[in-house]
Amino acid sequence: MVDTFSYDTLYSEKSIDDPLKPAAHATYDFAVAYPAPETLPMDGLIQALQVAVDSDSEKVLAEMAYYPQQLGALELREYTCAKLAADRGFTVTPEEVALTNGSGEALGLVIQALTNPGDVVLAEEFVYMGTTAQLRRFGADIRGIAMDKGGIIPEALDDQIVALTAAGEKPKYLYTIPEHQNPVGSTLSTERRKAILKIAHKHGMPILEDDCYVDLRYKGEMQPAFRALDDSGIVVYVASYSKLLAPGLRMGYFTASPELMRRALSFKIGSGPNQFAAVAIEGFLKNNLDSHRDNFTPMLEAKCASMLASLEKHFGDSGATWSTPEGGCYVWLTMPESSDIASIRDEVFQQGVGYVAGTNFEADASGRIGSNCARLCFAFESVEKNAEGIALLAQLFKRHGQM
Amino acid sequence: MVDTFSYDTLYSEKSIDDPLKPAAHATYDFAVAYPAPETLPMDGLIQALQVAVDSDSEKVLAEMAYYPQQLGALELREYTCAKLAADRGFTVTPEEVALTNGSGEALGLVIQALTNPGDVVLAEEFVYMGTTAQLRRFGADIRGIAMDKGGIIPEALDDQIVALTAAGEKPKYLYTIPEHQNPVGSTLSTERRKAILKIAHKHGMPILEDDCYVDLRYKGEMQPAFRALDDSGIVVYVASYSKLLAPGLRMGYFTASPELMRRALSFKIGSGPNQFAAVAIEGFLKNNLDSHRDNFTPMLEAKCASMLASLEKHFGDSGATWSTPEGGCYVWLTMPESSDIASIRDEVFQQGVGYVAGTNFEADASGRIGSNCARLCFAFESVEKNAEGIALLAQLFKRHGQM
């Protein structure tokens, strides 16, 4: 009829012409965020679906045929409560748990319920870029809190809140990944968690706890969740089955005080989370959680050891330092301050090694502290490829004058 | 530590304390929106997953282990393109299709990309309440277009746009369900579609086409999609696998002009749609679409016939009228104008029969035209229960003085 219809005057003011992110993967893909694909229990998940259908076909059909409730499938919420009580030491009812399309949706809903444009929000100085992207989307002004190897430094947190409040910029809430932090891999001690809770209460500031790596510990002691140390409602707890099972299942969850949950869920677009995946997850985990964990944690440890040994061998004399994780997916590499591995990231990627530059994780997006750092996922590639890829990375850094 | 933390001063201005919707279902559940659960191919979907894993385990594991791309699983997008070409007569590439968590997410994303608060948006005078809820959430001022048995009346549409434009309220876009409209069941003729496209171009007004019922025709002629009649980009096409397979799979999709797609996807919360469900859907449909359709369409027709016969028997002398659908899920019941079946809906539900009152579907939410109408889903309950439930409905309407 006509050539091309023009939308130029029709787009909403809030819409952004963001380019789609390409699906490219490097030969040695340390830029991803997922544990060992070879331990992903596809057969077990499929079998769990079949068992559910065979044992009560009518029930499964009815659940699949109704549009899911806002909270999601009851059986998986019940299982989630049991898992939280056993693994994380706190008790909630299925009515206090909402399943979501990955923990990303949970975080997005809570952020919308608590954030007005311009609100100051605190986070670790290096922190998961998916969350900071959502925080910015909804207008948050993010400030980073100083960390050391043990994560957030409570005194720095308190000082910063006092200073911001004095400047009329009282922070609205704190976002934190307390266990195997993304990207640096730190775990907050119980003592620090208690100190941070005390500070949070002093300033009336909720804690948005992102516990998505908690199932991936292979050594050291798991610390109690913030939520287990505080029952007042000040802690919003978000977690996920993405890392324990598979991101492709898109299943996360959160629990918060009742009104906050209702307000968060009021931002849901479309109806509830996937019932099909929920049946598979609940059916698989209720019988296989321990054996599945026993299967993948040694694999994670071996993969991490391989990457660390290769870093020692190829980066030992470079002045670089790196973290020695007790779980999770990531080694955090810090090159000497004068180096810039952020600017060469795309070239190195083309040459075979993917990583995420530290600048992507800066809470305040200042570009000041991350250009000599990189997050290296040790969990996705094989033991052998972890060793080879780090060797190649050293070569490439040298070729680009960064080592 | 303390009793209960108070969020009173912390909620965002946009958050709403909406009560969660209960999961209650009536004995005769004509309030739902889903075809025959007994035809839901759970075994076929599970088998498709197993075949995919058995034939290329590494590929499936890698797809499940990466976070899904914004557009969703490539294979299902490729299949969707083939299905659109075969069933709906238009050609798009996989890069022009985005999978979503049900068509609800697709609609929500497009609405956000095109709607500023206060924008006037047009829709059929009775129309799907899930979409109007989202339109209102993002600030649209919805106006209903007069319909007859053939759907939107093109002349009424043109007149209304002219009048609104003259009043400084030029409509931004038109939302329509052209095939087996929800709730009234009308299908727009090809002639009307062409007339509406001409009006849309005249006024520079996009059409948001919701084609989610197109697979559910059991008699009469399928009409070409708006999108098949116009390649200019003025048509945004949204559809779903929820009605063809199962709502619990949460899989919809949309296609639009490239910049509009990018802007719509920029509103996504969290990452892409479920890979697990995508593998099952693509694997099942590529081999079984025709046999699956041949299985459920006669069932739909029998269920509809049963409800219509029972309406004739129990409502024949009441002054009521009802639609005679050629597909979809719904009979639209119109009682005499003096009756009010909206106000007794909750009581009738408790007494055994669920329906959705017409007031819920009013585009402009005026409460003026829907109180004597109801949407009755004939597709979910059995042939027998459709007959019984309508008999009970007549009794209950009489008991409540509405017949």
Q: Position of tokens 């869920």?
A: A265
The whole-angstrom separation of Cα B319 and Cα B15 is: 45
A43: contact with B, CB 8 A cutoff: yes
B98: contact with A, CB 8 A cutoff: no
Question: What's the pLDDT score for residue B67?
Answer: 81
| Residue contact B68–A109, C-beta within 8 A | no
Mean pLDDT check: name the lowest of A18-22, A227-231, A378-382.
A18-22
- CA-nearest residue to A171 within chain B is B10
Nearest to B276 among A15, A61, A277 (CB): A277
The pLDDT tens digits of the residues spanning A30-66 come to 999 888 888 899 999 999 999 999 999 988 998 898 8
B135: contact with A, CB 8 A cutoff: no
Q: What is the DSSP letter of B126?
A: B
Question: What's the pLDDT score for residue B1?
Answer: 46
CA nearest neighbour of A76 among A104, A97, A50:
A97
Q: Which domains does chain A have, with CATH numbers?
A: 28-40+291-399 (3.90.1150.10), 43-286 (3.40.640.10)
Instruction: Show residues of chain B in contact with A238, CB under 8 Å.
Output: none
Question: Average of pLDDT values for A2-29?
Answer: 89
**Residues A31 and A354 sit within 8 Å (Cβ to Cβ):** yes
CA nearest neighbour of A335 among A375, A388, A392, A384:
A375
Query: Is the preceding peptide bond at B183 cis, omega within 30 degrees of 0?
Result: yes
Provide ipTM, 2 decimals: 0.94
A382: contact with B, CB 8 A cutoff: no
Q: Is the pLDDT of residue A69 over 90?
A: no
Question: What's the pLDDT score for residue B166?
Answer: 98
Question: What's the pLDDT score for residue B269?
Answer: 87
Q: Which of A46, A51, A235 to mutate to test the interface with B (most CBs of B within 10 A)?
A: A46
Tokens of A42: 């596809």
The pLDDT tens digits of the residues spanning A389-403 come to 999 999 999 999 999
Give CA separation, B243 vs A66, A274, A337, B103, B284, in Å. 11, 15, 57, 10, 15
Collapse the DSSP code of B360 into the 3-class scheme (helix H, G, I; strand E, B; otherwise coil) and give the result.
Answer: helix
A42: contact with B, CB 8 A cutoff: yes
Question: What's the pLDDT score for residue B33?
Answer: 87
Q: Which of B6, B9, B10, B329 to mutate to test the interface with A (most CBs of A within 10 A)?
A: B10
* DSSP character string of A92-161: --GGG-EEESHHHHHHHHHHHHH--TT-EEEEESB--HHHHHHHHHTT-EEEEEPEETTEE-HHHHHHHH
* DSSP character string of A186-238: ----HHHHHHHHHHHHHHT--EEEE-TTGGGB-SS-PPPPHHHH--SS-EEEE
A18: contact with B, CB 8 A cutoff: yes
Taking only residues 213 to 232 of chain A, the set having a beta carbon closer than 8 angstroms to any beta carbon of chain B reads: 230, 232
A257: contact with B, CB 8 A cutoff: yes
| Residue contact A112–B380, C-beta within 8 A | no
Instruction: Show residues of chain B in contact with A50, CB under 8 Å.
Output: 43, 46
Question: What's the pLDDT score for residue B161?
Answer: 98
Q: Is the pLDDT of residue A300 over 50?
A: yes
| Residue contact B45–A276, C-beta within 8 A | yes
Nearest to B263 among A16, A37, A247 (CB): A16
Collapse the DSSP code of B375 into the 3-class scheme (helix H, G, I; strand E, B; otherwise coil) and give the result.
Answer: strand
| Residue contact A115–B12, C-beta within 8 A | yes
What angle separates helix B383-399 from helix B275-315, to the nearest 10 degrees?
50
Question: What's the pLDDT score for residue A7?
Answer: 96
Q: Position of tokens 């939520």?
A: A227
The pLDDT tens digits of the residues spanning B117-159 come to 999 999 999 999 999 999 999 999 999 999 999 999 999 999 9
Q: Position of tokens 């949070």?
A: A200
Q: What is the mean pLDDT of chain A?
A: 95
∠ CA A394-A400-A402 to the nearest 5 degrees? 65
∠ CA A127-A129-A134 to the nearest 5 degrees? 115
Collapse the DSSP code of B1 into the 3-class scheme (helix H, G, I; strand E, B; otherwise coil) and give the result.
Answer: coil
Q: Which residues of chain B have pLDDT under 50?
A: 1
Smallest CA–CA distance, residue A337 to chain B, in Å, is 32
Q: Is the pLDDT of residue A1 over 80?
A: no
- CA-nearest residue to B232 within chain A is A4
Residues present in chain B in total: 403
Smallest CA–CA distance, residue B259 to chain A, in Å, is 7
What is the reported pTM?
A: 0.95
B202: exposed, middle or buried (Cβ count in 10 Å: 0-12, 13-18, 19+): exposed
A356 sits in the region (left: phi over 0; alpha: psi -120 to 50; else beta) called: beta
A102: contact with B, CB 8 A cutoff: yes
Taking only residues 53 to 82 of chain A, the set having a beta carbon closer than 8 angstroms to any beta carbon of chain B reads: 53, 57, 60-71
